Amino acid sequence: MTAQPDQNSTQRTAIVTGAARGIGAAVARRLATDGMAVAVLDLDEAACQSVVDEITGAGGRALAVAVDVSDEAAVTAAVERVATELGAPTVLVNNAGIIRDNMLFKMSVDDWDSVMGVHLRGSFLMTRAAQRYMTEAKYGRIVNLSSTSALGNRGQANYAAAKAGMQGFTKTLALELGKFGVTANAIAPGFIATDMTKATAARMGITFEEFLEGAAKQIPVGRAGQPEDIAATASWLCAEESGFVSGQVIYVAGGPRD
Ligand code: NAP
């Protein structure tokens, strides 16, 4: 759809990266339900359209924008487009992510650089581009996706380092941007049923059902997480009422994992 900026609106505009599917799509839908206009960003604009259609079909405002979050020029253009077509973004969820798992001795430099590029460089570029709208508005909510893998996970030296890095990045944003009314927090999910965990099951040579069953046995609440579990946490962290919570890492893992 062609979104129209509403200059008189007090509606907040949120950007969610990697929002064509999985956790990002659930967060985008949830923030729209919460009353925000939502920019649905992902590599492929067409892939974002079904999430945008769902939001607009329910009476909300949304915009699909193609961007590779690790590309500086593309990020600048995407954030400017959101501001022009949807409204100044004052909520940002850095969710886009990839895995390139391998044991350290088999991990290529490309596996390392790709994961750092999407998670760390991508979140840095998106946040740097969006923060000026937040500091101008004297209001902002930034949520970064970390992971329980930040605590260390076999076969994920690259991903674990990136997700631990997201925590340090988040805490520093909280320190630098707090005086502008901007909070920054991280969500560290445990096992969530998405295409990402489906790909892990396939690599392990087991069915997704077997993987889910095995995971549920290890998780104190006795089930795998769903994208909506993360969306609910993001919703609260992006709400006005959470303004005194900043620099925190919330493990959403069905049990204590930090
Ligand atoms: P997912 O289903 O694989 O979705 C990730 C999305 O990010 C995809 O739509 C993907 O696009 C997009 N993306 C990848 N690289 C991108 C780039 N350079 N620029 C823009 N978008 C890009 O993953 P998910 O399970 O929902 O995970 C979402 C976030 O939660 C990730 O940061 C992940 O690390 C984190 N997380 C997930 C779990 C879990 O158990 N699922 C646990 C802890 C943390 P394409 O489809 O085009 O590749």
DSSP per position, 131-179: HHHHHHHT-EEEEEE--GGGG--TTBHHHHHHHHHHHHHHHHHHHHHGG
Going by alpha carbons, the residue nearest to atom 44 of ligand 1 is 147
Question: Residue 196: which pLDDT band, with cuts at 50, 70 and 90?
Answer: very high
Residue among 40, 41, 42, 198 whose CB has most ligand 1 atoms within 8 A, to mutate? 42
Going by alpha carbons, the residue nearest to atom 3 of ligand 1 is 196
Say how many C-beta atoms besides its own lie within 10 A of residue 25's C-beta.
Answer: 24
Is any ligand 1 atom within 6 A of the Cβ of residue 120? no
Query: pLDDT digit string (tens) for 91-122?
Result: 999 999 999 999 999 999 999 999 999 999 99
Nearest to 64 by CA among 76, 52, 79: 52
Query: pLDDT digit string (tens) for 121-169?
Result: 999 999 999 999 999 999 999 999 999 999 999 999 999 999 999 999 9
Whether 49 has a pLDDT exceeding 80, the answer reads: yes
Q: What is the pLDDT of residue 258?
A: 79
Q: Which atom of ligand 1 is nearest to the CA of 71?
A: 18
Question: Residue 6: which pLDDT band, with cuts at 50, 70 and 90?
Answer: low
Whether 224 has a pLDDT exceeding 90, the answer reads: yes
The chain-wide mean pLDDT, for the chain, equals 96
Question: Residue 3: which pLDDT band, with cuts at 50, 70 and 90?
Answer: low
Q: What is the pLDDT of residue 1?
A: 45
* Ligand 1 centroid, distance to 225 Cα (angstroms): 15
Whether 226 has a pLDDT exceeding 60, the answer reads: yes
CB 211 within 8 A of CB 222: no
Whether 170 has a pLDDT exceeding 50, the answer reads: yes
Number of H helices, E strands in the chain: 9, 7
Q: Which atom of ligand 1 is nearest to the CA of 23?
A: 26
Is any ligand 1 atom within 6 A of the Cβ of residue 195? yes
Residue among 49, 99, 196 whose CB has most ligand 1 atoms within 8 A, to mutate? 196
CA torsion through residues 89, 95, 100, 102, sign: positive
Phi (first) and psi of residue 255, to 5 degrees:
170, 175
Domains and CATH numbers, the chain: 13-190+226-251 (3.40.50.720), 192-224 (no CATH)
Q: Whole-angstrom Cα distance, residue 199 to residue 14? A: 29
Task: Please give the residue that has the higher pLDDT: either 257 or 38.
Answer: 38
Whether 5 has a pLDDT exceeding 80, the answer reads: no
* Ligand 1 centroid, distance to 94 Cα (angstroms): 10
Query: pLDDT digit string (tens) for 8-46?
Result: 579 999 999 999 999 999 999 999 999 999 999 999 999
